[in-house]
Protein backbone atom coordinates (compact mmCIF):
# COMPACT_ATOMS: atom_id res chain seq x y z
CA UNK A 1 0.00 0.00 0.00
CA UNK A 2 1.19 3.50 -0.82
CA UNK A 3 0.13 6.73 0.84
CA UNK A 4 -0.52 9.81 -1.26
CA UNK A 5 1.59 11.79 1.20
CA UNK A 6 4.53 9.42 0.50
CA UNK A 7 4.25 10.08 -3.24
CA UNK A 8 4.27 13.82 -2.61
CA UNK A 9 7.34 13.56 -0.35
CA UNK A 10 9.17 11.31 -2.84
CA UNK A 11 8.52 13.75 -5.70
CA UNK A 12 9.52 17.23 -4.45
CA UNK A 13 9.65 18.52 -8.04
CA UNK A 14 5.87 18.09 -8.29
CA UNK A 15 4.22 21.50 -7.99
CA UNK A 16 0.76 21.10 -9.51
CA UNK A 17 -2.25 18.85 -9.21
CA UNK A 18 -1.92 17.65 -12.80
CA UNK A 19 1.69 16.60 -12.18
CA UNK A 20 0.56 14.73 -9.07
CA UNK A 21 -2.14 13.02 -11.11
CA UNK A 22 0.53 11.77 -13.53
CA UNK A 23 2.61 10.50 -10.58
CA UNK A 24 -0.43 8.60 -9.26
CA UNK A 25 -0.98 7.05 -12.71
CA UNK A 26 2.69 6.06 -12.85
CA UNK A 27 2.50 4.46 -9.40
CA UNK A 28 -0.43 2.33 -10.55
CA UNK A 29 1.42 1.43 -13.75
CA UNK A 30 4.47 0.45 -11.69
CA UNK A 31 2.40 -2.09 -9.74
CA UNK A 32 1.01 -0.29 -6.69
CA UNK A 33 -2.21 -2.15 -5.88
CA UNK A 34 -3.61 -0.08 -3.02
CA UNK A 35 -3.34 3.64 -2.42
CA UNK A 36 -4.58 5.59 0.57
CA UNK A 37 -5.48 9.21 -0.14
CA UNK A 38 -4.49 10.39 3.31
CA UNK A 39 -4.36 14.14 2.72
CA UNK A 40 -5.64 16.84 0.42
CA UNK A 41 -2.89 18.00 -1.96
CA UNK A 42 -1.88 21.58 -1.23
CA UNK A 43 -1.49 22.95 -4.75
CA UNK A 44 -3.10 26.10 -6.15
CA UNK A 45 -4.87 24.13 -8.87
CA UNK A 46 -6.24 21.34 -6.62
CA UNK A 47 -9.92 20.99 -7.57
CA UNK A 48 -12.74 20.50 -5.10
CA UNK A 49 -13.25 16.95 -6.37
CA UNK A 50 -9.55 16.09 -5.97
CA UNK A 51 -10.24 12.74 -4.29
CA UNK A 52 -12.45 11.48 -7.10
CA UNK A 53 -9.99 12.63 -9.76
CA UNK A 54 -6.99 10.98 -8.13
CA UNK A 55 -8.87 7.80 -7.35
CA UNK A 56 -10.09 7.65 -10.95
CA UNK A 57 -6.55 8.28 -12.24
CA UNK A 58 -5.25 5.47 -10.04
CA UNK A 59 -7.82 2.91 -11.20
CA UNK A 60 -8.31 3.90 -14.85
CA UNK A 61 -5.11 5.74 -15.73
CA UNK A 62 -5.31 7.97 -18.79
CA UNK A 63 -8.41 6.17 -20.09
CA UNK A 64 -10.80 8.40 -18.11
CA UNK A 65 -12.15 11.54 -19.75
CA UNK A 66 -14.92 13.86 -18.63
CA UNK A 67 -18.15 14.41 -20.57
CA UNK A 68 -16.39 16.89 -22.89
CA UNK A 69 -13.55 14.51 -23.71
CA UNK A 70 -10.91 16.20 -21.56
CA UNK A 71 -8.65 14.36 -19.18
CA UNK A 72 -9.22 15.86 -15.74
**Cα gap 71→62, rounded to integer Å:** 7
Q: Which one is predicted more confidently, 5 or 63?
A: 5
pLDDT at 35: 94
pTM equals 0.83
Q: What is the pLDDT of residues 20-69, one digit of tens each?
A: 999 999 999 999 999 999 999 999 999 999 999 999 899 987 665 555 45
**Cα gap 56→50, rounded to integer Å:** 10
Among 10, 32, 14, 31, CA closest to 22: 14
pLDDT at 61: 78
Among 30, 27, 71, CA closest to 47: 71
Neighbouring residues of 7: CB distance < 8 A, sequence distance ≥ 6: 20, 23, 24, 27
pLDDT at 55: 92
Amino acid sequence: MTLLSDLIIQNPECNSFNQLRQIVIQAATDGVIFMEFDLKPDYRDTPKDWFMRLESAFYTGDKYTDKWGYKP
